[in-house]
Copies of this chain bind each other. A is one copy, B any other.
Amino acid sequence: MGSETERKFLVRSSDWKPGAVGVLYRQGYLCRQEARTVRVRIAGDQAYLTIKGQAQGLTRLEYEYPLPLAEAQELLEQLCLRPLIEKTRYRIEYRGRVWEVDEFVGENQGLVVAEVELKSPDQPLELPDWVGEEVTHDPRYLNANLVVHPFSRWGKP
């Protein structure tokens, strides 16, 4: 398997939220380099290890493997870089496409982003009213960077 093509936007209102049911995500990184990241994620009662390469435009290599839940918990507690990232993810359908809205908690409290996966970088995309500025190319919004530069500390010395 191969690569993913994603676009990411800030969320500017909570119009997406009525009726939405979220899943708690808890994740950490074993490495977070520009050229490669290795992530451990617990999503609800499922766990995954995900390896990603460097973004080339909208696309990056991605490999994902299931992990036993108990081992994922050990990896997060004992081996992953600190702090961990915690967020609630909502899957919102809009005009036939699924948007993933992430509400961060902890040190990234206040940050809400929406991501959508595309088949190719030039695929047309209809934007819901509740998305604002596109941040696809802003590395500050990479989860791997939110670990070391959490949203709550942006703009502070």
A contacts, CB < 8 Å to B:
1, 30-31, 33, 35-36, 38, 49, 51, 53, 61, 63, 65, 67-68, 70-71, 74-75, 78-79
Contacts and interface: CB of A to CB of B under 8 A. Distances in A.
Contacts of A30: 30-31, 36, 38, 51
Given A49-B49, A53-B78, 19 more contacts: A1-B68, A1-B71, A1-B74, A30-B30, A30-B36, A30-B38, A30-B51, A31-B36, A31-B38, A35-B79, A36-B79, A49-B65, A51-B75, A53-B79, A63-B71, A63-B74, A63-B75, A65-B65, A65-B67
A115 B30 CA distance: 26
A153 B63 CA distance: 34
A92 to B, nearest CB: 31
Nearest to A68: B1
Contacts of A33: 31
Given A30-B36, A38-B38, A61 B78 contact: yes
A79 B61 contact: yes
A63 B65 CA distance: 13
A144 to B, nearest CB: 12
A38 to B, nearest CB: 5
A71 B63 CA distance: 8
Contacts of A35: 79
Nearest to A54: B79
A20 B45 CA distance: 46
A52 to B, nearest CB: 9
